[in-house]
Structures are given as C-alpha cells and as structure tokens.
Structure 1
Amino acid sequence: MTLYSKIIGTGSYLPEKRVTNQELADQLAAKGIETSDEWIVSRSGIAARHFAAPDQNSSDLAVNASKKALEMAGLQPNDIDLIIVASSTPDFFGSFPSTACVVQQKLGITNHGGAVDVQAVCSGFVYALTTADAFIRAGMNKNVLVIGAEVFSRILDFNDRTTCVLFGDGAGAVVLTASEEPGILATALHADGRHGNILCMPSSFGGAIAGEAYLYMDGPAVFKLAVSVLEKVAHEALEKADMTSDQVDWLIPHQANLRIMSSTAKKLGLPLEKMVVTVDQHGNTSAASIPLALDVAVRDGRVKKGQTIMMEGVGGGFTWGAVLARF
C-alpha cells in the first residue's frame, strides 16, 4: 500500500489590533517619516495588517490557529504525534526551547510526540509542510500539526518606511494525516545562500548580540529573484506530479507583494481569479502567510474537497519552494 499525506484541517488567527495604512502613515508622520496609503498600496497592494499585543508571542498565535485546525480535522491534541513550527520570530532568543515545544505544552499534548522548529523565513511553511509529508510517507508519523506563526512587528525598524509598512503578524496551521488517498502530490525545495544578504536580519551572536536586530530588505533584488524562481519551482512541482498548470484550481502564493504574485500567476498561465489574495488585509506575515490564505479560502468556500492547490513561497536565505496538493 502506498502511503500519502493529506490536509484534513486548516486554521488561522490574526491578532485583534488591525492597523490600516492611514493609521500607520499618521504614526510615522509624527516621527517625521512621510508615507501614504496610496504609496503603500501602489507598491505592495497592502491596505492593512495586524499587530500582536505586547503580551502575545508567536506560540500564542500558533495555538489559536492550531485549535481551529484540530477542530476542523476532528482530532484531539493528543492525536498529534509531531509538531513543526515555521517561524522567524520564535518565543525565545536562540530558539530554545523551540516554539514547537511551547505550542505542544500550551495545547496540553502529553504523548511525547516530536516537536521542532523550521527556519526558512517566508518559505518556512512550504519547508515545514514538505518535511511533514516526508515523515508521514516514511511511516514515522500519522498526524502532524504544521504551523506558520510570526510576530514580525517585533523586528521592524519603524524608521524605515520601505519595510515597516509591508509586514504583519499572524498564524496559520494545517493538520496533515496519513492517507491511502493522494493529498500532497509533489514538493520542491531550493536555497541559494549567495543571496542571503538581500533579505536578512543583520545581527549576529558570538557571545553577544552584534549588529542591527531589525529586518533588512533590498526590495528590487528580492523582487527580481522572486519572480524568476517562483515560476520555475511551480513548474518543477507540476512536472513531478505529471501535471500542467491548467489543472491547478487555486494558486496560493506567499503573500508578500501583489505585483510579484500577479506576475507569477501570469507566467504560469493562470487567470488572476484563480489566485488567493490576502496580502491586502494581512500584509506580509512571512511563514504564516500561506496557511493564513489557505484557511481563508477554505472557510469562505473557494477551496473545495478534491481541488488542486499550488502553494509556493520565497524567503530570506535565500530560500524558495512549492507544494502541489489535492485538498
């Protein structure tokens, strides 16, 4: 019998505090930094984002999203035998204990299943989902909770209008289970460390923190590379599954920039109506963006059982990847 992995539950969570472009522009203006709703929308497609409360960490957002995913899947927390959390903003400095272990504790899971964090920035969820798929196909796990959770507002430089207007906080989760029915059809992961400097947090730890503990991004360089690799990795996943782009029902890309997303859809020959867009209301939530968008589309009825979805993303590192799945 061939073993597959299949998504049986999705969930998401956004912090209560919603910040519109105008509200953010007003806050920046008070510091002498000029921006506007029109400027932000024209360059990114973003109209609003959510920021976590001071007492909310990535694990808190992750737990809320996970509970919804578990409920949809019809599972209890102790049915989960592996947790994988993708995050660039872990609860603890040095990433230990891992955010996955914190989530395990907060969900009350006591079965001693595995828990681990994955770091691939905005590609993190694709990397985590691919890892979970491999574990299930190998027969090592039955039910895996895969989460993307971020509090990017904590690492933004609010003196830099080119980056601070782009990002938001949130979490998305899926339950992946062993199945005789194909679910994850194909995956592809890549990285090129030579481009690590175009999207990074340039602080280092050699006994003491050195450098700037804020996100840095070379926007034009990221845009150019993202448009190039996203098309290629999507075709790679399709070729592995012996499928073509016209068989894709929904494209769910990393929600970074509407221009990058639209360009990718056009290069794949997909009408924009087949692309799930949440970047306008969520901003760029890094590893959380794909599962957030997936959950929105599942719960509003767009993504239906039996449909084929393409999830893909790029992130700092430089990393990129794609997952082709039948929902």
Structure 2
Amino acid sequence: MSNKSRFLGIGSYLPKERLSNDEVAAKWSLDTSDEWIYQRTGIKYRHIISEDEFTSDMAGHAANNALKDAQISAEDVGLIIVATTTADKTFPSCATIVQAKLGCKNAFAFDVQAACSGFLYAVAVADEFIKSGKIKYALVIGVDAMSKIVDWQDRSTCVLFGDGAGAVVIGSDSEHGILSTHLYSDGKVDILCTNGGVGTTSSSGYICMSGQAVFKHGIEKLADVILETLKQNDLQISDIDWLIPHQANVRIIEAVAKKINLPLDKTVITVNQHANTSAASIPLALDSVKSKIKANDLVLLASIGAGMTWASVLLRY
C-alpha cells in the first residue's frame, strides 16, 4: 500500500467579469480609490460571478480542468469534497450538486466549511482516505462566491473579496506527495464572521471584520503553523521551494515571509489579481504556478480563516 497521497491534477476557474478597484468604487458609489485599496491590501482586481451563475458552476469548471490535467475520467473519482462558505443551497451539499454535474457516479460527496482554511481542511481529509486505501482518486474543490455575502456599501470589507474556484485530483504515490497536514481552530476568537445565518436570521448575513485584529492574528498563526510544520518534518526555512499562503492581503503575506525569514521570491502572490477568494484562494494560486514547480520541490500551503481556523499542508512535488 502506498504511504503518500499526491496532487495528480490541478485546475481553476474565474468568472468572466473582472473589476478593477476604480470600477468597484464607481459601480457601488464607494468613497474609496485604487490607491487607497492597493496601498493597504495589494489588491488591484477581482472577478465577480454573474447573476445566472452559481458556486457549483464555478466548482464544476475548476474540477473538469483538474480532471483533464490528471488525465482521469469523472467515473474514476471515489470522493468529492467541496470546501465552501457560499453553497448554492442550505441543502443538499454543493458537493453532491457538483457530483451530478460532473457525472461522478461512483463517488460519495460532502462539503467542508472552514472558511478560508476550508481547502486545506478538505485536502487533509482526502489525504486520509487515499492513504487508507479506501478510495483511489479524490477530487477536492475550494470555491466561493464571496460577492454574495459582502455588503457593497461597506468599503472596509467589500473591496477585499472576489469569486473563483480551484480544484485538485488526489491519488496515491509511493515517493512523492503529501508529507504532513496540520489543522487548528479557536472558536473563542470572533473577529471575522457574518452578521446572520440560517439558524439565527434565516439569511446568510454580510461579512463583518475587525480588520486590525484579523491582520495581527493572521500573521501570528500563519507564521506559527509554518514553523511548526517544518519542525515536525525536521526541515529548515531554507528547504522550502514554494510557499503558497492564503491570499487575503499582500501586507499579511509580506509580514509572514519577513517573520519566518523566507525570501519573498519563494512566496506565491496572486491576491493582486484575484482578491480574497476564501476557500478558492490557495488552489487558484497553486494553479497559477504549477508549470513552474519542479519535481522534488518542497511546497508548503498555509491558510488562515474565520473560525478562527488555520492550517498547513506540506508536500513533495
């Protein structure tokens, strides 16, 4: 039996509508500017889902691209996990809707909700199923339509988010693949949430955030989980070939890289083009650089999200 699970295929999808900071300010009559947004976040653009498009549609497009990259069919997939905060419906799960759209008739499917850390949570779960030998191929999708849950009159939050999807096909490998996964949460930290929910207000609510607290917490927890991951694998910072962090704010990414003494040229940054796409953030960034990652490269994925949740996945490419 193989002792590792490996990313065999990677795919992504972004909605057609792409808005610059100035276009967002003009469309929703916001008292802000490109300079104000970019200086504080590093964000220049974000993609916005159309009215007739759903989270499951974005997930399906990204998944199809990952299946093509892995060169396997939908019927080969034994497990589908969708990490999302913005599922099409309260139930059924987004994953089962995607299953039907893809024709993965041999898979079982469910959602994971860990906000921006959801993709890495889902990868960790799929990793265990693959290593156990219970399934041959898993499809893990990170997808969010954050434009559906932002208050477009709140300039402090609405400019930070975008929509998109990323997916990976995971299978077994005897040499390369996932070396370790690390998942954490702290439910006592309530600095990023929505002001509603099905069980409280019968609606999703809008995103509310304590910006400075999230900034500080993000730097601390991302740095901690990166260093702990390396320590548990007897590795040094210099061993990392690629750091792919959650893409929330370029200032957080820069501060983390500085804190752990990692050269910024080893850090993947796509937040300038996509904004914060929540669970889609890391797989979108991964897909953007997959052609540059070489065999045997050490890749570290790290995320921070509402909950608060934080996580890492270390893999040998």
Sort the TM-score into its range (normalised by shorter chain). over 0.9
Return the alpha-carbon distance in structure 2 between the equivalents of residues 268 and 7 of structure 1. Answer: 26
SS in 2 for 1:256: coil
Residues 150-169 of structure 1 aligned to structure 2 (within 5 Å): 150-169=144-163
SS in 2 for 1:213: coil
Q: Does 1:235 align with 2:235?
A: no
How far 1:208 moved relative to its partner?
Answer: 5.5
In structure 1, the partner of 2:60 is: 63
Preserved CA contact (<8 Å) 1:6 1:181: no
In structure 1, the partner of 2:237 is: 245
Q: Does 1:37 align with 2:30?
A: no
Letter in 2 for 1:282: H
1:224 to 209, 216, 220: 216
Letter in 2 for 1:13: Y
SS in 1 for 2:280: helix
SS in 1 for 2:231: helix
In structure 1, the partner of 2:50 is: 53
In structure 1, the partner of 2:110 is: 116
1:313 to 303, 306, 315: 303
Preserved CA contact (<8 Å) 2:43 2:273: yes
Q: How large is the RMSD of aligned CA atoms in angstroms?
A: 1.3
Return the alpha-carbon distance in structure 1 between the equivalents of residues 303 and 199 of structure 2. Answer: 31
In structure 1, the partner of 2:251 is: 259
2:202 to 209, 217, 222: 209
In structure 2, the partner of 1:199 is: 192
Q: What fraction of aligned residue pairs are identical, expressed as a percent? A: 49
Return the alpha-carbon distance in structure 2 between the equivalents of residues 123 and 204 of structure 1. Answer: 19
How far 1:122 moved relative to its partner?
Answer: 0.4
Preserved CA contact (<8 Å) 1:255 1:279: yes
SS in 2 for 1:135: helix
In structure 2, the partner of 1:179 is: 173
Letter in 2 for 1:259: R
Q: 1:157 to 1:179 in 2, by over 3 A?
A: same
Name structure 2 gaps, 5 residues minimum. Answer: none
What TM-score does the superposition give when structure 2 sets the normalisation length? 0.97
Count of residues paired in the alignment: 317
How far 1:294 moved relative to its partner?
Answer: 0.1
Letter in 1 for 2:193: C
Return the alpha-carbon distance in structure 2 between the equivalents of residues 97 and 84 of structure 1. Answer: 13
In structure 2, the partner of 1:126 is: 120
How far 1:247 moved relative to its partner?
Answer: 0.8
Name structure 1 gaps, 5 residues minimum. Answer: none
Q: 1:77 to 1:199 in 2, by over 3 A?
A: same
In structure 2, the partner of 1:13 is: 13
Preserved CA contact (<8 Å) 1:290 1:311: yes
1:234-281 C-alpha deviation (Å, 9 max, x unpaired): 111112222112111011000000010111112222111111111001
Return the alpha-carbon distance in structure 1 between the equivalents of residues 110 and 265 of structure 2. Answer: 36
Preserved CA contact (<8 Å) 1:254 1:290: yes
Letter in 2 for 1:179: D
Preserved CA contact (<8 Å) 2:20 2:46: yes
Return the alpha-carbon distance in structure 2 between the equivalents of residues 143 and 303 of structure 1. Answer: 22
Letter in 1 for 2:298: T
1:116-149 C-alpha deviation (Å, 9 max, x unpaired): 1000000011111111111111222210001001
1:59-107 C-alpha deviation (Å, 9 max, x unpaired): 1001111111111111001111000110000010x2x110010110000
Letter in 2 for 1:223: F
Which is further off, 237-246 or 75-84? 237-246
4+ residue stretches of structure 1 with deviation over 2 A?
Answer: 204-208
Return the alpha-carbon distance in structure 1 between the equivalents of residues 64 and 145 of structure 2. Answer: 19
Letter in 2 for 1:80: V
Q: 1:206 to 1:127 in 2, by over 3 A?
A: closer
Letter in 2 for 1:201: T
In structure 1, the partner of 2:98 is: 103
In structure 1, the partner of 2:141 is: 147
SS in 2 for 1:305: coil
How far 1:302 moved relative to its partner?
Answer: 2.0
Return the alpha-carbon distance in structure 2 between the equivalents of residues 26 and 58 of structure 1. Answer: 26
2:269 to 256, 271, 277: 277
How far 1:304 moved relative to its partner?
Answer: 2.2
2:287 to 283, 295, 304: 295
